[in-house]
Amino acid sequence: MGPLVPNIISNEFNLIVALIAGIGFGFTLEQAGFSSTKKLVGLFYGYDFTVLKVFFTAGITAMIGVLLFGQMGILDLCLIYINPTFLWSALVGGAIMGLGFIIGGFCPGTSVCAASIGKLDGLAFVFGSGLGVIAFAEGYPMFEKIYLAEAWGPVLINEKLGMSKIVFGFLLTAIAFIAFFLTRLIEKRVNNDQSKLPKKRILAYVSAVGFAFFVLIVIAVMPDRYSRLESRMNQAFAHSDLTSVEVPADKLATEIVNNYYRTNIIDVRSPEAFKAYHLPFAINIPFDKMTDRQWKTILDQKHKTNYFYADDQQLARKGYLKAQFLGKAENYILIESSSDFKNLFSNLTPPDSNASKNELNTYNFRQKAATDMKILVEALKNSTEPVIVKTSKIKGGC
Amino acid sequence: MKPNKYMNPYMAGFLLGLVLLGTIYVTGRGLGASGAIKRVVVTSVVEVAPQHSANTPFIKSYHEEHPGGPLKDWLVWEVIGVVIGSFFSGVISNRVGIKLERGPNITNSTRIIAAIIGGALFGLGSQLGRGCTSGAALSGMAVMSFGGIITMIAIFGSAYSFAYLFRKLWLK
């Protein structure tokens, strides 16, 4: 599941990704005509709206793609970088950039693009940008107040407008298409252009608009990955017989004593319950948190066997079923609840004098297992402390 | 040879959108440009005037937060890619060549000075806005960032409001 950096693609290889992304970026900018200031500033005098067309099309394409990937469950939208909002510096900075745009005729990306094909004005603009950065760095104390004011964090525009992402997606896409239509009218008037679009082109545009809305509708009606998972799990819960994968406490204890290195004991209860008591070597993966990417390495591996337990049979079974859908690991369920396990091994009561041989054997076995588990836990204390996995945050910027 | 025509803008926009989407999918963040300029500039300042940089809090903290030089920086590599990609596109469309583009009523030196001033304003503004047209506006739009979208509105709104004042730079 994306983003692939840093868990699937390393940070070093990421630099090669940067190079490839840059090549794609530069190529499309230049092909679109962004290496020419005449084309760029045309936007502001109404004779050429290429910038708006390219920019808006790219924006909605990527936006719809991000929504689609998120809904399909192949991109974790909680992990992608959202530019933080600093209200005043965003507005003032934007206004200064706009002034720079109309005077210089470029923005930083397009100036690099222009300089690359030999435009001297592009090169001058890049040089100027460097000066601007130095001016900011040197004068930082002067800008600091506005730079840090009204820090709202990574807020999303749809939240601000009080609508869902998909509704905003529809809205922005509609705005883009209306803008394309209106700017064509303006462009024609400013350039005294009487020409009509060829039929083929009109057909292509109409189908592109249709396709965009079609994808948006698909996103709107498609259940997301987790609700799909949930419904499959509930179905399986109602229909499947899980007795074959249920393991009694004695067997699990033997497994812990002899093969602790090949087992994952997974507690699907809440962190509080886990803290109060948990089985030796248990890892706490609360049921609702099982889909978090940090548990993937446990729920989807082939080296260790996973044993699930909880305080009630229902929850343990649900945890087992969820794990079955989430990964390919070998999973089992502990029949007993955690408190039963505690009673069986921690609060052992010796059998009375007239107990049968069988009862005595069981008692001896449990006592030994309990001591062994205690010794093992003590001996491996440092190496088995649950590792707190930090969720990786992607650093961003312009 | 005559330069080839530019690509259909919607087609180019669609391709650019796919590049951006691919970048977000792989790296979790969008494209950028001004950040790379910043990285190179700050590193150069530190190299040229170490004493001075140590006394300038902004440069000092930025440099400390970004160890390892510009060649360890994602955006620097991305901009190197932009140079390659643009040059390649220029070559296949016959647009490469030393050239200075200017409005019909101004001299070459006016154009160069305007480009430097415009660049300086953009460089300064992009620091305040935490990103430029690519990093804040375009990438912000793709991930529905409120900050990115208001920066975009501010950039284009301001450019439109100043356009009349600077029309002599561009129009007849």
pLDDT in tens, chain B (172 residues): 678 889 999 999 999 999 999 999 999 999 999 999 999 998 888 889 888 888 888 888 888 888 877 888 899 999 999 999 999 999 999 999 999 999 999 999 999 999 999 999 999 999 999 999 999 999 999 999 999 999 999 999 999 999 999 999 999 8
Q: What is the pLDDT of residue A202?
A: 93
CATH code of residue A348:
3.40.250.10
User: Do both A103 and A140 map to the same domain?
Assistant: yes
Q: A273 burial class (0-12, 13-18, 19+ CB within 10 angstroms)?
A: middle
Taking the Cβ of residue B46 and every Cβ of chain A, the question of whether any pair is shorter than 8 Å is answered with no
Closest Cβ opposite residue A23 in set B7, B9, B85: B85
Query: Cβ B101–A106 below 8 Å, yes or no?
Result: no
Q: Pick from A224, A256, A273: which residue ends a domain?
A: A224
How many angstroms separate the CA of residue B81 from the nearest CA in chain A? Answer: 4
Same domain, A206 and A253: no
SS3 A389: coil
The token duo for A175 is 């705005």
A280: domain range? Answer: 232-380
Residue at which a domain ends, from A201, A224, A247: A224
Question: Do residues A163 and A250 both lie within one domain?
Answer: no
Q: What is the pLDDT of residue B1?
A: 66
| pLDDT tens digits along A192-236 | 988 888 999 999 999 999 999 999 999 999 888 778 888 888 888
Residue B106 — φ and ψ, nearest 5°? -120, 160
Separation CA B69–CA B122 (nearest Å): 24
- Asked if B12 lies within 8 A of A14 by C-beta distance, the reply is no
Contact at CB, B142 and A62, closer than 8 angstroms: yes
Please count the residue pairs, one from chain A and one from chain B, whose beta carbons lie less than 8 angstroms apart: 570
Statement to judge: residues A173 and A267 lie in one domain: no
- Please indicate, yes or no, if residue A282 is contained in any of the structural domains: yes
Determine the straight-line distance between the first and last CA of chain A, rounded to whole angstroms. Answer: 24
Chain A interface test: which of B98, B144, B152, B162 (most A C-beta within 10 Å): B144
Residues A220 and A79 in one domain: yes
Q: Does B7 touch chain A (CB under 8 A)?
A: yes
- Which distant-in-sequence residues (6+ apart) come within 8 Å of A358 by Cβ? none
Cβ contacts (< 8 Å) between A33 and chain B: which residues? 6-7, 9
The pLDDT value recorded for residue A57 is 96
Please tell me which of the candidates A9, A129, A135 has its beta carbon nearest to residue B37: A129
Angle at A363 between CA A357 and CA A368, to 5 degrees: 125
Sign of CA dihedral A264, A270, A275, A279: negative
| 3-state SS assignment for residue A328 | coil
CA distance A334 to A318: 12
If you count them, how many residues does chain A have?
398
* Residue with the larger pLDDT of the pair A1 and B135: B135
Distance CA A63, CA B74 (A): 22
User: What's residue A396's pLDDT?
Assistant: 43
Interface of B with A in 24-43 (CB under 8 A): 24-35, 37-38, 40-42
In this prediction, residues A318-334 reach a mean pLDDT of 89
Interface mutation target, options B55, B151, B162, B165, chain A, most CBs of A under 10 Å:
B151
Tell me, yes or no, whether A297 lies in a domain: yes
Q: Which of A205, A224, A243 is the last residue of a domain?
A: A224
Do A237 and A132 lie in one domain? The reply is no
Same domain, A49 and A186: yes
Dist CA B132 CA A115 (whole Å): 18
Q: How many domains does chain A have?
A: 2
Query: What does the pLDDT read at residue A173?
Result: 96
**B54 interfacial to chain A (CB closer than 8 Å):** no
Q: What is the CA radius of gyration of chain A?
A: 31
Rounded to whole angstroms, the Cα distance separating A279 from A255 reads: 13
A331/A215 same-domain check: no
* pLDDT computed for residue B126 by the predictor: 96
> Is B95 in contact with A165 (Cβ distance < 8 A)?
no
Smallest Cβ–Cβ distance between A57 and the set B10, B117, B151 belongs to B10
Are B27 and A394 in contact (CB < 8 Å)? yes
Q: Whole-angstrom Cα distance, residue B126 to residue B38?
A: 10
B1 min Cα distance to partner chain A (Å): 15
Residue A279 is assigned to a structural domain of this protein: yes
Whole-model pTM: value is: 0.82
DSSP for residue A156: B
Pairing label, strands A85-86, A151-153: antiparallel
A171 CB-near residues (< 8 Å, 6+ apart)? A163
Query: What pLDDT is recorded for position A172?
Result: 96
pLDDT tier at A395 (50, 70, 90 boundaries)? very low
Give per-residue pLDDT as tens, A249-286: 999 999 988 888 889 999 999 999 999 888 888 889 99
Whether A390 is covered by a domain: the verdict is no
> Are B25 and B123 a contacting pair, CB within 8 Å?
no
Rg (CA), chain B: 18
Spatial contact of B55 and B45, defined as CB atoms under 8 Å apart: no
Asked whether the predicted pLDDT for residue A69 surpasses 90, the reply is yes
Structure tokens that stand for A262 in this block: 């090949």
Averaged pLDDT, A10-23: 92
Put simply, the answer to whether B133 touches A133 (Cβ < 8 Å) is no
Sign of CA dihedral B111, A45, B149, A28: negative
* One-letter amino acid for residue A325 of the chain: F
Q: What is the pLDDT of residue A148?
A: 92
Neighbour tally for A142: CB within 10 Å: 11
Nearest to B81 among A21, A114, A135 (CB): A21
Encoded tokens for A71: 């809904």
**Using alpha carbons only, what angle is made at residue A183 by residues A181 and A184, rounded to the nearest 5 degrees?**
65
Is A80 a member of any domain? yes
Chain A interface, mutation test: which of B146, B156, B167, most A Cβ atoms within 10 Å?
B146
Percentage of chain A exceeding pLDDT 70: 96
Q: What does the pLDDT read at residue A397?
A: 38
DSSP state letter for A306:
E
* A22 with B80: Cβ contact below 8 A: yes
Look at A133 and B37 and tell me if their CB atoms are within 8 Å: yes
DSSP A82-145: -PPEEHHHHHHHHHHHHHHHHHHS--HHHHHHHHHTTBHHHHHHHHHHHHHHHHHHHTHHHHHH
φ/ψ region of A85 (left if φ > 0, alpha if ψ in -120 to 50, else beta) reads beta
pLDDT bin (cut points 50, 70, 90) of residue A398 is: very low
The verdict on residue A386 lying in a domain is no
Question: Among A118-127, A183-192, A287-296, B127-136, where is mean pLDDT lowest?
Answer: A287-296
Q: Are A58 and B9 in contact (CB < 8 Å)? A: no
Q: Is B116 in contact with A124 (CB distance < 8 Å)?
A: yes
Residue A367: which residues within 8 A CB-CB, separation 6 or more?
Answer: A348
Both A202 and A254 in one domain: the answer is no
Mind giving me the DSSP string for A350-376? ---TT--HHHHHHHHHHHHHHHHHHHH
Q: Decide: A315 and A341 in contact? Cβ < 8 Å.
A: no
Higher pLDDT, B111 or A73: B111
How many other CB atoms are there within 10 angstroms of residue A8's CB atom?
Answer: 11
Which residues does A343 contact at the CB level (< 8 Å), separation at least 6?
none
Domain match, A179 and A252 both: no
Of residues B33, B74, B161, nearest to A112 (C-beta): B33
Examine residue A385 and state whether it is found in any structural domain, yes or no. Answer: no
How far apart are the C-alpha atoms of A168 and A174, rounded to whole Å? 10
ipTM of the complex: 0.96
Q: Is 60 exceeded by the pLDDT of residue A392?
A: no
- Same domain for A257 and A160? no
> Of A143, A178, A189, A146, which is closest to residue A47 (Cα–Cα)?
A189
**Considering only CB atoms, which chain B residues are within 8 Å of A211?**
none
Do A179 and A66 reside in the same domain of the chain? Answer: yes
Residues B55, B97: contact at Cβ < 8 Å?
no
User: Strand, coil or helix: what is A149?
Assistant: coil
Asked if B85 contacts A30 with a C-beta cutoff of 8 angstroms, the reply is: yes
Inter-chain residue contact B128 with A32, CB threshold 8 Å: no
Mind listing the pLDDT tens digit for each residue in A140-165?
A: 999 999 999 999 989 999 999 999 99
A389 in a structural domain: no
Angle at A360 between CA A356 and CA A364, to 5 degrees: 170
Tell me what the mean pLDDT of segment A161-171 comes to. 94
Q: What band does A314 get if pLDDT is binned at 50, 70 and 90? A: confident
pLDDT at residue A387, rounded to an integer: 57
* Residue-level pLDDT at A389: 55
The reported pLDDT for the residue numbered A386 is 57
The DSSP H or E segment spanning A171 is: helix A165-190
Summarize the confidence of residues A33-46 as an average pLDDT: 93
Contact A127, B112 (CB under 8 A): no
